[in-house]
C-alpha cells in the first residue's frame, strides 16, 4: 500500500494513478479533501481518500491509521505535497511566508517519515522487504536560486533529511530516496504569474530537452523508487530535469557548420 500526499492534482494525482495501474492500493491524501476524494473515486476499490494537512502530526497519524484500516499494511510513502512561493529576494521575504514554506515543504516531510516508521517496521512488512519512502525535493534542493531563498532552504532540507533518514532506517529494511524535478507542467506552474511563466519558458528553451516535464514522468520515477527494482538505492538523489543541471547553456559556442 502506498500513501501519497498532495494527491488531489498534478504530480500527486499522477502518482496515485500510476501506482494503482500497477496494482497497488493507494491512500490519496491532500489538504484539498474534495479533490483527493475525486481522485480516489476514479481509482475505485484500489484507493481510499483521507484529508491531510501535512503540517499537522495528528492528521498524519489519522492518515496512516486510515490506510492500515483499509489495506492492512503500509509499504510506500510518497512525500509529494509542497508549495512554491512567489519569488522574492531575501530582504522582501516575509517571516510568515518563510515559515509557511518551511512548514509545508520540510516539516511536512519530517512528520510523514516519523508517522510511517512503526508501520513499515512491522514484521509482516519487513518480511516482504521493508518499505520505501520517496521524498519530492527539487533541483532547487541541489543548487541555489536567486529570489527563492525559503523554497530552496526547504528543499535543501528535504535532501539532507532524506540522507539522514536513509542512514537511520536502513537497518529496518526501509529505503529513503529523494526526487529532484525541474520545471514540471503542474497546476503550480500553470497558475504562476505571466512574468514567471515567461522566465520558465526561456529556461526550458535552453535545456538539452527543451520542454517542461510531465507529472506522469515524475510518477514513473516515483514508482521505480518505490519498487524492488530499486532495491539497492537509498539515501540518493534522483534528478528529473531535462538536463537543466547538466551545465550552463552552450548557445553561441557552436554552429551547425562546426
152-175 pLDDT per residue, tens: 999 999 999 999 999 999 999 999
Provide the residue count of the chain.
258
* Grid cell at residue 2: 502506498
Asked whether the beta carbons of 135 and 236 are under 8 A apart, the reply is no
Contact (CB, 8 A) for 140 and 90: no
Q: pLDDT tier at 252 (50, 70, 90 boundaries)?
A: very low
> Is the sign of the CA dihedral 168, 83, 230, 144 positive or negative?
negative
The pLDDT value recorded for residue 225 is 98
Average confidence (pLDDT) over 47-69: 98
Q: Is residue 246 part of a domain?
A: no
In this predicted structure, the answer to whether residue 85 has a pLDDT above a threshold of 80 is no
Strand order in the sheet with 76-79: 47-51, 26-30, 2-4, 76-79, 132-136, 175-181, 237-240
DSSP annotation of 106: I
pLDDT at 123: 63
What pLDDT sits at residue 255? Answer: 45
**What's the mean per-residue pLDDT of the chain?**
92
Q: Which pLDDT tens digit goes with each residue over 1-19?
A: 999 999 999 999 999 999 9
How far is residue 14's CA from residue 220's CA, in Å, rounded to a whole number?
Answer: 9
Is residue 28 included in any domain, yes or no?
yes
CB atoms within 10 A of CB 99: 12
pTM: 0.92
> Domain total for the chain?
1
Strand partners of residue 236: none
Q: Where are the beta strands (DSSP E) in the chain?
A: 2-4, 26-30, 47-51, 76-79, 132-136, 175-181, 237-240
Nearest CA to 74 out of 136, 15, 12, 3 is that of 3
Closest by Cα among 8, 14, 125, 25 to 66: 25
Active site residues: 151
- Give the range of the structural domain holding residue 173, as residue numbers without chain letter: 2-182+213-239
Contacts of 202 (CB under 8 A, 6+ apart): none
Q: Which residues contact 111 (CB under 8 A, 6 or more apart)?
A: 54, 55, 56, 57, 60
Break the chain down into helix, strand, coil percent, rounded to 5.
Answer: 50, 15, 35
CATH number at residue 156: 3.40.50.720
Res 258 pLDDT > 70:
no
Q: Per the domain annotation, does 62 fall within a domain?
A: yes
User: Does residue 193 belong to any structural domain of this protein?
Assistant: no
pLDDT in tens, 24-52: 999 999 999 999 999 999 999 999 999 99
100 occurs within a structural domain: yes
> Considering the chain, what percentage of its residues have pLDDT values greater than 70?
94
- pLDDT digit string, tens, across residues 113-153: 999 999 998 766 555 558 999 999 999 999 998 999 999 99
CA distances, 154 to each of 30, 31, 79, 83, 119 (Å): 19, 19, 13, 10, 26
Does residue 179 sit in helix, strand or coil? Answer: strand
pLDDT tens track for 194-230: 777 787 888 888 899 999 999 999 999 999 999 999 9
How high is the pLDDT of residue 186?
A: 80
Does the residue 205 lie in any domain? no
Amino acid at each position: 500500500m502506498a500513501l501519497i500526499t498532495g494527491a488531489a492534482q498534478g504530480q500527486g494525482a499522477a502518482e496515485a494513478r500510476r501506482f494503482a495501474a500497477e496494482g497497488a492500493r493507494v491512500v490519496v491524501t491532500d489538504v484539498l479533501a474534495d479533490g483527493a476524494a475525486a481522485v480516489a473515486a476514479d481509482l475505485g476499490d484500489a484507493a481510499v481518500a483521507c484529508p491531510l494537512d501535512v503540517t499537522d502530526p495528528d492528521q498524519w497519524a489519522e492518515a496512516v491509521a486510515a490506510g492500515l484500516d483499509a489495506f492492512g499494511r503500509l509499504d510506500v510513502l510518497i512525500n509529494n505535497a509542497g508549495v512554491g512561493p512567489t519569488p522574492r529576494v531575501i530582504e522582501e521575504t516575509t517571516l510568515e511566508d518563510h515559515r509557511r514554506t518551511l512548514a509545508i515543504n520540510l516539516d511536512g516531510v519530517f512528520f510523514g517519515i516519523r508517522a510511517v516508521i512503526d508501520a513499515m517496521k512491522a514484521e509482516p512488512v519487513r518480511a516482504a522487504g521493508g518499505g520505501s519512502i520517496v521524498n519530492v525535493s527539487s533541483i532547487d534542493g541541489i543548487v541555489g536560486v536567486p529570489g527563492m531563498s525559503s523554497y530552496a532552504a526547504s528543499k535543501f532540507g528535504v535532501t539532507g533529511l532524506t540522507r539522514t533518514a536513509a542512514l537511520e532506517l536502513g537497518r529496518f529494511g526501509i529505503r529513503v530516496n529523494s526526487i529532484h524535478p525541474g520545471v514540471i507542467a503542474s497546476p503550480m506552474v500553470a497558475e504562476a504569474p505571466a512574468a514567471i511563466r515567461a522566465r520558465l519558458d526561456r529556461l526550458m528553451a535552453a535545456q538539452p530537452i527543451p520542454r517542461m516535464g510531465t507529472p506522469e514522468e515524475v510518477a514513473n520515477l516515483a514508482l521505480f523508487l518505490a519498487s524492488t527494482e530499486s532495491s539497492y538505492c537509498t539515501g540518493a538523489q534522483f534528478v528529473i530535469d531535462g538536463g537543466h543541471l547538466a551545465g550552463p547553456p552552450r548557445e553561441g559556442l557552436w554552429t551547425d557548420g562546426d
